Structure 1
Amino acid sequence: MSVTVADIMSTRVVTIDMDDRLTIVKEIFDSAPFHHLLVVENDKLQGVLSERDYLRTLSPHIGAINETERDVETLQRRAHQVMTRNPITTSPECSLHAASRLLLLHNIGSLPVLAQGQIVGIVTWKDLLRAYSQ
């Protein structure tokens, strides 16, 4: 029996709404040990917001002595303005090899896992690397 995405995916998935502000995203990333948020609207996946996307959007002066009001305003942007739309997804039955190829082909760090259109988990490059190393 071969190992599938369902065997290694994280089922603890954090979702945010399309109109959530980056202040909420900041709170989540500051307090949680993961790097990808799934963006939903009416319980349907609309995009992925990675920590890298979030950091790329923020002013580098946030929290610094020379922080300005304009820097702080970058935290008022909405998730839908920063997220990656139409994310590449996978199914729980997908092989680890196929999931790895998707990540490499699309140069992405995670795959939302959907079953019958519903979010059931997420698998990241670290999950795959961990599985291959065991």
Structure 2
Amino acid sequence: MHVGEVMTRRIITISPGRKARDALELMSQKMIAHLPVIEKSKLVGIITDRDLRLAVIPQNKSKTGKRISGNPLERRVKDVMTRKVVSVDPGTGVADAVKMMLRLRIGSLPVAVDGKLKGIITKDDLLVVFVEMLRMIQSSSTIDVELADEIDDMDVIQTTLKSHNIKILSCAATPGKKSGSQICHVRLEPCPVKDIVHDLTENGVKVLDAFGEDT
């Protein structure tokens, strides 16, 4: 699954010349915590609820290094926003996006192509994906196998499942730990899997994991 499939496409943005107060009001109205900052159709920064919280803490200098005074919410977005924006493209895997957000401790990732904003993926978007995946897992059986020879192993898998009269709901492959190997994630209609795993193993297919009505 790719970021482009689950990202929020209707993006609310703000320009760098607006005031921090405007960003705060927009976040409050739209109940969001992240605002991409756009200038001349290009992504130039992002302002978050955390940036705004830091903006109202008394400081001697702004992010640009200039001394500040007066109401901090009257400052410009460009002086408060995060300039070094970490973004991803629509083809980035959801798992990679999650790892990136955890590593950087951020709550969102703008999705851009050649600097132009296409969407944004947030913790809420990922939670929806997670809930949907749980629902799919609970309503189906799964078998994960390592493909040593992709064509031959897939033939064995299909033949074995056909002999058990089990329908494949979906099948996806990801790179394995060994060079050139692949892990095939097979989702089946709800069924017992122990006999299927036994038959696959007997026919030389390496089963890594299985979940079914009898496990």
* TM-score bracket for this pair, using the shorter chain length: 0.7 to 0.9
Identity %: 32
Is it true that 1:28 corresponds to 2:16 in the alignment?
no
Which of the numbers 5, 8, 11 marks the counterpart of 2:6? 8
> What SS does structure 2 have at the residue aligned with 1:47?
strand
**Counterpart in 2 of 1:39?**
37
> What SS does structure 2 have at the residue aligned with 1:102?
helix
Over residues 57-109 of structure 1, what are the superposed CA-to-partner deviations in whole Å (9 max), with x where a residue is unaligned?
1259xxxxxxxxxx971111111111111211011111110100110111111
**Counterpart in 1 of 2:157?**
none
CA distance in 1, matches of 2:105, 2:55: 19
What is the TM-score normalised by the length of structure 1? 0.83
Is it true that 1:18 corresponds to 2:16 in the alignment?
yes
CA distance in 2, matches of 1:76, 1:10: 29
CA distance in 2, matches of 1:4, 1:95: 4
Q: Which runs of 5+ in 1 are unaligned?
A: 61-70
> What SS does structure 2 have at the residue aligned with 1:90?
coil
CA distance in 1, matches of 2:49, 2:106: 12
> What SS does structure 2 have at the residue aligned with 1:15?
coil
| Alignment size in residue pairs | 122
CA distance in 1, matches of 2:47, 2:79: 10
**Which structure is larger by alpha-carbon Rg, 1 or 2?**
2
> CA offset at residue 11 of structure 1?
0.7
What is the TM-score normalised by the length of structure 2? 0.53
CA distance in 2, matches of 1:133, 1:30: 26
Q: Which runs of 5+ in 2 are unaligned?
A: 59-68, 133-215
1:1-134 map, 5 Å = 3-58=1-56, 73-134=71-132
> CA offset at residue 132 of structure 1?
1.6
Over residues 1-48 of structure 1, what are the superposed CA-to-partner deviations in whole Å (9 max), with x where a residue is unaligned?
xx2111111011111111211121122022112110011221111111
> What SS does structure 1 have at the residue aligned with 2:109?
strand
CA distance in 1, matches of 2:22, 2:44: 18
Higher relative contact order (CA 8 A, sep 6+): 1
